[in-house]
Structures are given as C-alpha cells and as structure tokens.
Amino acid sequence: MNMGIDIAPSVAEALAMGAPVVALESTIISHGFPYPANVECAREAQRVAREEGVIPATVAILNGRPTVGLTDEQMEHLGTAPGIAKASRRDIAMLASRGADGATTVAGTMLISAMAGIRVFATGGIGGVHRGAGESFDISADLIELSRTDVTVVCAGAKSILDIGLTLEYLETHGVPVVGYRTDEFPAFYTRSSGFGVDARVESAEEIAAFMRAKRGLALGGGAVIANPIPQEYELDSKMLDGVIASALAEADEAGVHGKEVTPFLLARIHELTGGASEEANKQLVYSNVRLAAQIARAL
C-alpha cells in the first residue's frame, strides 16, 4: 500500500485478501447533481456494488489526503460544502500541500485507484476532446491518464457534448483499447449510439477479465475503456438532444465559459432544457456501469 493515501479499513481488508473492489469517483457528488440527489446517487452506487458482492471504494481528497473508501458522512460533506475543488492529476499535490478537499475526476480517481491497487473503476462517462479543440486545444486529462495508468474504466462512452470522433482518434493514437460491452458502437452517454465503432466487442464480464489479464501479462501498460451503453429504457432521444446541446454550446460561448467550467455548465443547461430527464438518465447509466464493473472485479 502507498503510505501517502488513506484507505478505509473495509477496502484495505478486501485488497489484502484479494477480494473484489470497485473504485468510484466523487466529482459526481460535488459537481454532478444538486443536493440531495448528488449524495443519494453516490450512496446508491455503493449499494449496487455491495449487492453484487463487491466492496465500493469512493475516492476523494479530504484534508489534503487522497482517500479511498468514503463514509456516508464524508460523502455528505462533499455534497454540501461550498467550493470543493475538482481534483485531476495536476491538482492533487496542491490540495495535499494546503490540506484542502477535492472531488476526484476520472483522471484523479484513476491515479489514486492505481496507488491503492484497485484495477476496476466505474464512472458515468469519460472526458474527451472538446468541440472546437483545433483552436482551443481543450482535451480532457482523462484521456492522457488512460494512456498511462493501468486501471480499466467502465463508462457509458463519452458525453455527447464532446467531439466523439476526435476522442476516439486520440485514444487510438495513445494505444488505449476501447471495448464495447454487448455493442459494436461507441455509446454517447445519454444515447446508446454515436455513429462510431469500438475496437472490439465482448459479451460478458468474464471476457473483459480475460482481456485485462492478457493485457497485464503482456506488460502493455495504460488503461482501457469498457463502453457500456445506457440501459435502453433510459436513453434520451438523439435528435432532441442534439438541439439541446447546440443551444447549450451557444449559450456557453456567449457567456465566455471555458476550460474546466464548460462541462458542468453544459450539463446544468442540458438538465434544465430536458426538464430533468437528463438527470435520471445520468443516474441510471452510473448504476449500470457500477453493476458491470462489479461483475468484472468478481471475475478477476
């Protein structure tokens, strides 16, 4: 164990025994939904993991300490305290030096999970190449982390506010496998299809576990994306969503929103413009990803 991080006793015991553990991120608590939906979603994600016989390990920075395995009280704090920072790789050392709190992004959660020895991580969707990145160079740190940190990320693809084609091109260039779970097409978060394919299709958690063992056995390094489409009954209409995204992007541009503030701004506007339908879809795809990630961890 890395002595620079705090690991909850239940998580530490499971890791020591070789029992299955799944990492969960905390930006969904501080920056994903309004209170109390944020904390309720985080608790439900943990419940789903336990229902599958797996120990959940929600990751965050608390009092400057990378923390693996949050309590209900700690999640309540992240969901209600003002000014909780979004913690990607670049932010962790500064938060540690200041004894501050941070909610970990996909990149931050991957990094700390690897420190703890957790190999499977469930999230909503990965970050990616933003639309207009040819001028802004706005590319999520999630993609870079995937290229260098050996953690498998189960997600519902990339958010449809991104340039999904360029996101997949970036992952290919950096050698990150993109595997579709019972799909030939890369999902787009709120919708099951994006018009882009995956590198390979698998039908079971056992297949994914075998792939992970082969990848590690060959010392290939880096992470992998397991693309798990949103359950069909919660999928949003793609044409309606395209119009909503176009409107939200125009508003962000007019308001001068940029950098790491773009995604939360767009998701908040999409929530408003869909009458809350996007929030329920977001929750359900998270639970679906946690369930699959737990099954993979068990198979390992």
| Strands (E) located in 99-185 | 102-104, 120-122, 152-155, 178-181
**DSSP bridge partners of 152:** 120, 224
| Same structural domain, 56 and 189 | no
Residue 283 annotated among the catalytic residues of the structure: no
Query: Where is the domain boundary, 118, 146, 161?
Result: 118
> What's the number of domains the chain is made of?
2
Q: What angle do CA 110, 142, 194 make, to 5 degrees?
A: 120
pLDDT tens for each residue of 193-231: 999 999 999 999 999 999 999 999 999 999 999 999 999
Confidence band for 260, pLDDT divided at 50, 70 and 90: low
| Same structural domain, 218 and 111 | no
Residue 159 annotated among the catalytic residues of the structure: yes
Q: What is the CATH number of the domain that holds 144?
A: 3.40.1790.10
| Strands (E) located in the chain | 6-7, 21-24, 55-62, 65-68, 85-87, 102-104, 120-122, 152-155, 178-181, 200-202, 224-227
Q: In whole angstroms, give the CA distance from residue 250 to residue 186.
A: 26
| Same structural domain, 253 and 145 | yes
| Same structural domain, 64 and 131 | no
Global pTM? Answer: 0.94
Contact indicator for 98, 62 with CB cutoff of 8 Å: no
Q: In whole angstroms, give the CA distance from residue 15 to residue 116.
A: 8
Can you give the length of the chain in residues? 300
Q: What is the mean pLDDT of the chain?
A: 94
pLDDT tens for each residue of 121-162: 999 999 999 887 777 788 999 999 999 999 999 999 998 889
Q: Look at 17 and 239; give whichever has higher pLDDT.
A: 17
Q: In whole angstroms, give the CA distance from residue 274 to residue 270.
A: 6
| Same structural domain, 245 and 146 | yes
| Same structural domain, 138 and 185 | yes
Place of tokens 């979603």: 41
| Same structural domain, 193 and 228 | yes
Query: Where is the domain boundary, 66, 90, 118?
Result: 118
Looking only at the bridges linking them, the beta strands covering 55-62 and 21-24 are parallel
Confidence band for 277, pLDDT divided at 50, 70 and 90: confident
| Same structural domain, 111 and 197 | no
> What percentage of the chain exceeds 70 in pLDDT?
98
Query: Where is the domain boundary, 98, 118, 138?
Result: 118
Domain hosting residue 232, numbered range: 126-300
Give the mean pLDDT of 171-195. 97
| Same structural domain, 100 and 149 | no
Of residues 76, 145, 159, 235, which has the active-site annotation? 159
| Same structural domain, 200 and 289 | yes
| Same structural domain, 166 and 131 | yes
Give the mean pLDDT of 231-253. 89
| Same structural domain, 101 and 133 | no
pLDDT tens for each residue of 78-117: 999 999 999 999 999 999 999 999 999 999 999 999 999 9
